[in-house]
């Protein structure tokens, strides 16, 4: 599960695919996923702060919503996520499933 633009690659690799969340391929600036008032508040913040807020406050809720809607039929045993994708943690906690992070970037504990 990921943004729709990842589907061709996932299918070429033999994976089933369900689009979830916003598709970053169609977003020029990551913080564009945030509401205008939040973008304005963060306008002078360092890019790393703007991106972190965008992942947690913009992409995370959209991913959680889609995963919760589409995932009930999926019935996973575990959720494996990347370290800056937070929506799947919401689904895992609601479904009372274990979750793990594949480390490729900084790690931010999603419980915060």
Closest CA to 52 of 67, 66, 36, 38: 38
- Quote the CA–CA distance of 39 and 18 in Å, as a whole number: 29
Encoding tokens for residue 70? 């589409």
Max CA distance (Å), the chain: 43
Per-residue pLDDT of 22-79, as tens digits, reads 776 666 677 777 888 888 888 899 888 888 888 787 788 888 888 898 877 878 888 8
pLDDT for 110 equals 67
Contact 79, 96 (CB under 8 A): no
- Quote the CA–CA distance of 1 and 59 in Å, as a whole number: 13
pLDDT for 57 equals 79
pLDDT for 18 equals 79
Q: Mean pLDDT, to the nearest integer, of 104-112?
A: 65
Top pLDDT among 74 and 7 is at 7
């Amino acid at each position: 599960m990921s943004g729709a633009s990842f589907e061709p690659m996932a299918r070429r690799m033999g994976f089933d695919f369900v689009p979830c969340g916003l598709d970053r391929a169609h977003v020029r600036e990551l913080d564009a996923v945030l509401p205008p008032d939040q973008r304005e508040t963060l306008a002078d913040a360092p890019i790393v702060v703007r991106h972190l807020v965008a992942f947690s406050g913009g992409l995370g809720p959209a991913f959680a919503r889609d995963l919760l809607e589409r995932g009930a039929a999926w019935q996973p045993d575990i959720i494996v996520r990347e370290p800056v994708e937070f929506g799947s943690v919401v689904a895992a906690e609601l479904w009372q499933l274990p979750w793990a992070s594949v480390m490729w970037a900084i790690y931010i504990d999603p419980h915060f």
